Every structure is written in structure tokens, then in C-alpha cells.
Amino acid sequence: MIFGVLKDIKEGEWRVICTPMEVASIKAAGHTVLVQAGAGAGAGFPDEAYAKQGAEIVATADEMWARCDFLAKVKEIDPSEFHYLREDQMIYCCIHPAGHPEEVQAILDSKCIAITAEDSHRYGSPNCEAAGKQGALFGLESMLTINGGKGKFVGGFAGAPGMNVVIMGGGNVGQGALSVLHALGANCTVLDINPGMLKTLGAQYNNKINTMFCTKEIIASLLPTTDMIINCVKWPKQRKDFLVDKEMLKLMEPGSVLVDISNDDPGCIESSHETHHDNPRYVVNGVVHYCVSNIPGAVAHSTSVSLAAETLPMLLNIMNNGLKEACVRDGFIRRSLTAYKGYLTHEETSGIQGRPWIKPEDILGIADRKLDPAPPATTTKSDNFITLDCCCK
């Protein structure tokens, strides 16, 4: 198979989906690897390092898309790339399909095979850990007086107390943020709807953190004494309400900080909108907002190394065994299949966008096989099915 490592073109994105080490492994498995010129430069991996491991360096995106059977990158397919998509070609990246109807339409129109990376990680994406840890540090940077914050130091000084931080969501992202802030001396409160998660985190930190249930009323009760709130909640896209609305921000002291790591559109923070690394902050009702959508891109080397190592087995599974067999062997690949030759295969996208869909195991003809299990990627359900007699495998 001809596998291609694309250069990401999203503003402020320097990560790369494969480092030279992964290229060496893919080559050793008997595949051809093309790397777009400069794909890894921002993460500290020059073209020469890829070439040394046997990759062919390709100058243009046009040639990459034209020659490769299977392409991979980190972030979404940009509108400027839609015209490259073609029938039967496979693409693996963070598609975020439920929130990007135009991208989904381009994928379906092209009849390509698309796999959304964010649903494919069995043990949680390294990007989540990176977003939580680095997002916490960006929050502390936003708290600095020179950046419009109230100027409190995270762990305090002699005679001056440290920061009170509320972390909404106790999953991989929230745990990453908590590990950094607790280690630096912040007084941390974690909110979640899962009592088991709250018990686990409390025990993990020897009950030296606060845990509470995540409701709008509890959040409002905490805001008057909160210096920084970090949102790590994956908000269901069909919901139109908010956990934190604009009026609630007035409960916080001027110069307090809100970091929206989840950064969904729509999300659970009414005042949140996407920002970029070159202009990351804005103020609403006196609260400094940090809402960069690709926080892990700021630590491109470390995130690339971690992400590439975890992604490699999935890529090799597909390349060595073919997509159908890979989906039998790995339920997380199966659940992340987004579109197959013109047919939507992603349940959340069907439920959110009202598009008909077909289960991956049905379109691939593997429903009667013993399939590796995987939990649903989200709680969104859809019974808007395409029937087998109206589609071709």
C-alpha cells in the first residue's frame, strides 16, 4: 500500500501524524511511504530524518493526494482540500464529523473511505492528556496581570493564598489539567456527573482535592470564589442549553480566567468561541477567556511523538490486513469509520445532522463475524438507517 503523511495546514498546527520512527515501522512492513515536504518540520522532524528511514519526500499536496492509497494527518480536512478527495481513497484524521456538515458532505460526495481519529483510541487520545496539561498552563499564563488576569500565583506566596480552580469534567482532559494544577499548589475542585469517577479521583489525590457533582446550580455557587474555571466537558451537540451562561460570569471577580479546552460549537459555555494561538484571548463580562481549539499544537514535538506511537498499530492493522479485517479485529477502528464509498457510517453524525446511516459492520459485510467489541463513541443514537437492499458493498 502507498501510505502518505500529509502536512497539516490548520492555522497554528505544527503536529504530524507520523514521526520518522513510525515511517521506519511502516516501511519494514512492506509498504511505500510518502511524506509531504515540511510535514514534520514544526514538530522538530526535518525531511532528511524521514528520508533516512526510507520515505519519499513529495513536494506538493497535489502529488500526495494523487498518488497515495491511504493518507493521514492530525486535524480536519480543510475546505481547500475537499477537491482532492476521491473514490476508494482512505483518509485518517480528526474529522469531528458531527460538527462539520460541509466536511461530511464533501466526504460523501467523493465516495472516499474516511476514519475519524478521535474515536479510534482505545485508551484515550494522547491529545486529550496534552490538551488538559497544556491548557492548564495556558490558563495560568492568562491569569498574569500582563495578560489581563487578576494576577494571582497558582500556589500562592507567603501570606498570599493560591488560586481556587474549578475543573469541569473528570475524564482524560480534566485529569491532565488536575495533575498540573494540583502539583503546582492550586486548590482544585473537580466536577463530574459520574460518582465513581469522583470517588476514584478523590482517593487518587488522598482527598486533597474537592469533588462535586456537575450541575449549573453548583457551578454558580462556586463562581464567586473561583479564580479559574477549566471546561473539559464533552457537551452533547444536540443540546442548546449551557452549563455556564454569560450572566453567570458576572459572579466571578474581574480578571478571573475561563479556559475552554473542549471548545465545542455549540458547547456548554455560552460565551466561548474558537480562537487561535496568534490571538488566543478575549474578555466577556470581565472574565478572560482562553479558547484556542488546538492547544496540543503548541507542544507539537511531544504530542506528535505520543500520538504517532499510539496511532501506529491502527494504521498498520489497516494497511497489513485491509480495512474490513481491521474492523473485525479492532472495534475502535470500526466505530471510527465515518464514511464508506458514499455512505455515512457514523451514528453520532446521523443523529446530529439528520442524515441516514448504515452500521460499519453491515456495509462491510462482517456482521456475522466475531467482532472485537468497543463501547459507543458517544451517547447520541440514531435509528435513521439505510437498508442493505439500497446500497452496494
DSSP 225-271: G-SEEEE-----TT----SB-GGGGGGSPTT-EEEESS--SS-SBTT
Nearest Cα neighbor of 363 from 391, 384, 331, 328 is: 391
Q: What is the dihedral of CA 151, 273, 41, 305, to 10 degrees?
A: 80
Q: Which three cell numbers stand for residue 18?
A: 507520523
Q: Are 16 and 281 in contact (CB under 8 A)?
A: no
Residue given cell 458532505 in the structure block: 105
Task: Provide the residue type at 105 as one letter.
Answer: Q
Cα gap 107→257, rounded to integer Å: 38
Q: Judging by beta carbons within 10 Å of its beta carbon (0-12, 13-18, 19+), is residue 199 exposed, middle or buried?
A: exposed
What residues pair up with 187 in beta bridges, in sequence order? 164
Q: Which residues contact 229 (CB under 8 A, 6 or more apart)?
A: 165, 166, 167, 168, 219, 223, 244, 252, 256, 257, 258, 259
Where in the sequence numbering do the catalytic residues fall? 96, 264
